[in-house]
Amino acid sequence: MQEFKNQSYVDFSQEENRKRMEDALGEVASHLGEEYELIIGSERLRAPKQFKSFNPSQKGEVVAIHQKADKELARKAIEEALRTFESWRWVKPEERAEYLFQAATLMGKRKLELAAWEVYEVGKSWPEADADVAEAIDFLEFYGREMIRYAQPQPLVRIPTERSELVYIPLGVGIVIPPWNFPLAILVGMTSASIVTGNTVVLKPSSDSPTIGAKFMEILEDVGLPSGVVNFLPGSGAEVGDFLVSHPQTRFISFTGSKAVGLRINELAAKHTPGQIWIKRVVAEMGGKDVIVVEEDADLEEAAQGVIAATYGFQGQKCSACSRVVVSSKIYDRFLDMLVERAKGIKVGPAKDPENYMGPVINMGPVINERALSSISQYIEIGKKEGRLLFGGERVEGNGYFLQPTIIADVDSSSRIAQEEIFGPVLAVLKANDFAQALQIVNGTEYGLTGALYTQDRGKINRAKREFHVGNLYINRKCTGALVGVHPFGGFNMSGTDSKAGGRDYLLLYLQAKAISEKV
Ligand code: NAD
């Protein structure tokens, strides 16, 4: 088998690729508004109620209609997953991995079509959508290889009187609950890790991006994955989510999303319910208050570029997005000017239009929905009181949820906009008198997901490696854009359960080890 290699990105500066993407967008447009069914085992079902997913660039445009699962359907999905577990758990790891490799190949063939769905359903720009599909393929290729590695004989200390082995076995039925912001990559990553290890799952996609989940289900069906291994159950997080998490037959929950929901799931999962014979495992990847430190000895051009890209890429709606920049007092005013100058060049508009991303730096589409627009706008109002509004702060005209890139300067580290996750295009700028203070600010929130340091000083770099407490630390580059296998991803403290997606210990979270010794 070939060694794992990350997918390359599509170069949209090439006329031919632009044309292909435009064709894909046109093709997907002709399927907007269609209805999708729930998938439980081999059955495709309708629920008593339906809901719609919308295009955030074009208010009111229905991307698709989906089933809103109720508790009865959720129960049925768990029962089906439980039944299928009895056969799937015995399928050879290499065979399970093969389904992932085939799904990766199919996804590669449908790359631009899947990216086009993301443009419509979550408002990703072309390159951001392409990168998400590429990451999903990477997860399939990476976890497939990882399963084969875990299936090999494991090293044990030998004693002359016994023959010993250690094997990794699956857990049981898992509930997979992904967010909408990496609608394919995270959904595929969590689902494929769950099933390649021999578990079966109930997949509840985000209600903002269910169609992307449905497209993955099409791919799983096309590669012949046995029915019941992944059961597709869109529905309300609050209604059906609690039921799935609390069910006594649920063995583990793989969640990515906000701190509030992650904590709720963790609490519910910890509560023993009658008939439950295990302690549920929770893998939770949660929010961030990610930060970039810019020292006076840094390459300021590079730093400004990095801060802008990390803050405004996908409108700041990445868990890894920069939302605080801590700037040395020696270059503070100069650096602010550089940020503002670049923010001015950012275009805001519908994700579908290529001119909204072909700019010199980075450009922005809409935020995901009305609720997000209003919550981010409220934070901007808070920020205006807590600091100095330096740039943006307003909605942008148009028929979508558009906001200006926003910069708020002179922010105190204890203020709300320096502490709470905003999840939108809002940057808080904080001043540090020295590097020690910068580190204090960096580590002064409840989160610990990503961070970056721009400096030419080796001493500061070494100190940051020890003291900058984040799961993903980057030196002299932006804090977004983790690659599977290269930057195993996941944060500390309230950013989650310290897992590392796309890393070599990730699959262990979905496995348990059995030690067997035979007397000789
Ligand atoms: P969210 O917490 O609102 O929703 C996440 C998922 O949980 C959705 O599928 C939702 O339907 C479901 N859900 C909601 N209530 C539930 C309940 N009571 N029980 C079970 N499921 C429930 O988050 P979001 O808006 O989809 O995503 C944005 C958040 O995700 C941000 O906080 C971001 O930082 C975080 N995120 C973290 C990572 C990471 O790797 N750490 C990656 C991406 C996003």
Q: How far is CA 38 from CA 69, 100, 242, 308, in A?
A: 8, 22, 18, 40
Pocket test for ligand 1, best of 206, 280, 498 (most atoms within 8 A of CB): 206
Structure tokens at 462: 């070494």
> Cα 429 from chain centroid?
25
* Other residues' Cβ atoms within 10 Å of the Cβ of residue 376: 22
Percent of the chain with pLDDT over 70: 99
Does pLDDT of 361 surpass 90? Answer: no
Closest listed residue to residue 291, CA positions, set 458, 472, 487, 498: 472
Please give the pLDDT value at position 238.
Answer: 87
- For atom 43 of ligand 1, the residue with the nearest CA is 319
pLDDT tens column, 384-421: 999 999 999 999 999 999 999 999 999 999 999 999 99
Does pLDDT of 502 surpass 90? Answer: yes
Single out the catalytic residue among 113, 135, 146, 319.
Answer: 319
CA dist 390 and 343 (Å) reads 10
Pocket test for ligand 1, best of 232, 256, 291, 487 (most atoms within 8 A of CB): 256
Please give the pLDDT value at position 363.
Answer: 84
Please give the pLDDT value at position 156.
Answer: 98
Band (354; pLDDT cuts 50, 70, 90): confident
CA dist 83 and 138 (Å) reads 30
Does pLDDT of 358 surpass 90? Answer: no
- Give distance in angstroms: CA of 255 to centre of ligand 1: 7
Strands (E), 286-371: 290-294, 322-328
285 is catalytic: yes
Does pLDDT of 467 surpass 70? Answer: yes
pLDDT tens column, 210-228: 999 999 999 999 999 999 9
From the CA of 501, give the closest atom in ligand 1: 40
Of 52-66, 342-356, 472-486, minimum mean pLDDT range: 342-356
Single out the catalytic residue among 285, 295, 386, 421.
Answer: 285
Residue tagged 């509930």 (tokens): 175
- Give distance in angstroms: CA of 393 to centre of ligand 1: 25
- For atom 14 of ligand 1, the residue with the nearest CA is 237
- For atom 39 of ligand 1, the residue with the nearest CA is 285
- Give distance in angstroms: CA of 235 to centre of ligand 1: 14
- For atom 32 of ligand 1, the residue with the nearest CA is 258
The ligand 1 site (C-beta within 6 Å) comprises 177-182, 186, 204, 206-207, 237-238, 241-242, 245, 256-258, 261, 264-265, 285-288, 319, 421, 423, 449, 490-491, 495-496
- For atom 11 of ligand 1, the residue with the nearest CA is 237
Does pLDDT of 353 surpass 90? Answer: no
Does pLDDT of 360 surpass 60? Answer: no
Residue tagged 């497209």 (tokens): 215
- Give distance in angstroms: CA of 261 to centre of ligand 1: 6
479 is catalytic: no
233, 74 Cβ separation under 8 angstroms: yes
- For atom 4 of ligand 1, the residue with the nearest CA is 257
Burial 35-69 (b: 16+ CB within 10 A, else e): ebbbbbbeeebebeeeeebbbbbbeebebbebbbb
pLDDT tens column, 227-271: 999 999 999 998 899 999 999 999 999 999 999 999 999 999 999
- For atom 19 of ligand 1, the residue with the nearest CA is 241
- Give distance in angstroms: CA of 206 to centre of ligand 1: 8
CA dihedral (367, 373, 379, 383) in degrees, to 10, reads 70
From the CA of 238, give the closest atom in ligand 1: 18
Does pLDDT of 160 surpass 80? Answer: yes
- Give distance in angstroms: CA of 317 to centre of ligand 1: 12
Q: Give the residue-averaged pLDDT of 30-48.
A: 98
Please give the pLDDT value at position 355.
Answer: 72
- Give distance in angstroms: CA of 56 to centre of ligand 1: 18
Closest listed residue to residue 90, CA positions, set 170, 11, 208: 170
pLDDT tens column, 198-211: 999 999 999 999 99
Q: What angle do CA 281, 283, 286 make, to 5 degrees?
A: 145
The residues, any chain, with a CB within 8 Å of residue 267's CB and separated by 6 or more, are none
CA dist 162 and 517 (Å) reads 6
Band (276; pLDDT cuts 50, 70, 90): very high
- For atom 30 of ligand 1, the residue with the nearest CA is 257
Pocket test for ligand 1, best of 78, 181, 472 (most atoms within 8 A of CB): 181
Strands (E), 335-383: none
Quick one: 387 exposed, middle or buried, by C-beta within 10 A (0-12, 13-18, 19+)?
A: buried
351, 125 Cβ separation under 8 angstroms: yes
Please give the pLDDT value at position 1.
Answer: 87
DSSP-assigned letters across all residues of 218-250: HHHHHTTPPTTSEEE----IIIIIHHHHH-TTE
- Give distance in angstroms: CA of 163 to centre of ligand 1: 46
Whole-number mean pLDDT of the chain?
97
Band (356; pLDDT cuts 50, 70, 90): low
Band (359; pLDDT cuts 50, 70, 90): low
From the CA of 207, give the closest atom in ligand 1: 11
Pocket test for ligand 1, best of 258, 264, 315, 420 (most atoms within 8 A of CB): 258
Does pLDDT of 340 surpass 60? Answer: yes
- Give distance in angstroms: CA of 11 to centre of ligand 1: 31
What pTM was computed for the model?
0.97
Band (357; pLDDT cuts 50, 70, 90): low
From the CA of 204, give the closest atom in ligand 1: 9
- Give distance in angstroms: CA of 66 to centre of ligand 1: 19
Q: Give the residue-averaged pLDDT of 448-467.
A: 98
Structure tokens at 470: 């984040």
From the CA of 372, give the closest atom in ligand 1: 25
- For atom 12 of ligand 1, the residue with the nearest CA is 237
Please give the pLDDT value at position 492.
Answer: 98
Q: Give the residue-averaged pLDDT of 177-193.
A: 98
